[in-house]
Structure 1
Amino acid sequence: VPQFGLAPPRGHAPRLAAADLQPKPAETGVSLSHLHSPVVSVREQAAIISSRLQRAGAATFRALVADAGALNVVVARFLALLELYRESLVAFDQMRSLGELTVRWTGPDDPVDIGASIDEFEGVADEQGAEGDRAQPGVAERADLDSPQEPTHPEAMTQEDGA
C-alpha cells in the first residue's frame, strides 16, 4: 500500500472499520417505468394510417410517423403498413435505394374495416407445439435427403468407410 503521509487521527481507524462493517441501508428502489413501454396496437395504428392515406392519397413514411411520440409507435406503424400491404390496400414507391419511402393508398375510397383484416401480434408461444409453432410438413424429410449421413463417432466407422 503506498504511503501518502496521511493517516486518520489516532483511534479513528477502528471507528472507520466498524462503520464500514455496518449493514448498508436498503436502496429505496429504482423506477423501471422507462424500461417497459406501453403496448401499442398494430390494428389501431393501421386504422390511423389508412384514414390518413385515404384522405391524402399518398404520404411519406416520415410524415406518417412524424407524430409518433415513441419508438414503439413507429414500429407499430411500420408493422401496420406491412399488414396493409399484405391486404393490397397500400403500395410503396422508392425512387432510389435507401431513399424516401412513399406510401400510396390503393384500397377502396370507402372507409375500410381494418379490424377484421389486421392481425395483432401477441408474442411467441412459450411451449413447443403450441398454436402457431408448427413445423412445415416435409422440411425434415428434405433436410435428410440433402445432407449425406456421416457417422458422428469414430467407433461407428467401419473398414469399408476408410478407417
Structure 2
Amino acid sequence: METEISTLFKEAYEALNNQDYESAKRKFDRIMELSRGRFPEAYFEACFKLGDVFFEENNYRGFFKCSMRALKHVYGTALYEQGVNRMKHVLYIIKHNEALPQLAENMDPLLVQMKERPDLYNFVLAVTMLAAGKREEAREIASAIGDKKLAAILEELFE
C-alpha cells in the first residue's frame, strides 16, 4: 500500500508540473482514499495538494474544502499547526483577490463533516457567513472558537 501511495504521489506531482490538473486531481484523490485513517501524513499532504490544484484553477471553494478535511484528520497534531498556517496564507490571497464570496455557497456537506470538531465547524461556519456578507453573524460565531490560530485567521479576514 505504501509503495502504491508513493507511486501515486510521484505521478500526481508529475501531472501537476505538466499542468495536467485533471490527472493530478484523480491521483491525489486516490491517495486520500488509500491513506484515510491509515497514513495521516499522506492523507494530509494529498488533501492540501488537491487543494493547491483547485487553487490553480481559481476554485477557492475546492481549496477550502480540501484544507478543512486535511485539518480535521490531523487535529491536535503538529501537522494540524502546519496546515492552519498553509490555509492562513491562501485565505489571505483569496481575500485580496476579492474572491471570498466563493466560500459562501455549498458548504453544508463540509459542515456535516466538521461536526465532531466544534472549532473547525465554527470556523467553516464563520468563514461562510463572512463570505456571504453576514459580518455580525460571523463575528458571533467566531467568538466561540477556542483555537487561537483559527480565531486569528478570522480576525485577519474581518479587517
- Please, what TM-score do these two structures have when normalized by structure 1? 0.24
- Please, what TM-score do these two structures have when normalized by structure 2? 0.24
Greater share of strand:
1
Higher relative contact order, structure no. (Cα contacts within 8 Å, ≥ 6 residues apart): 1
Q: Larger Rg: 1 or 2?
A: 1
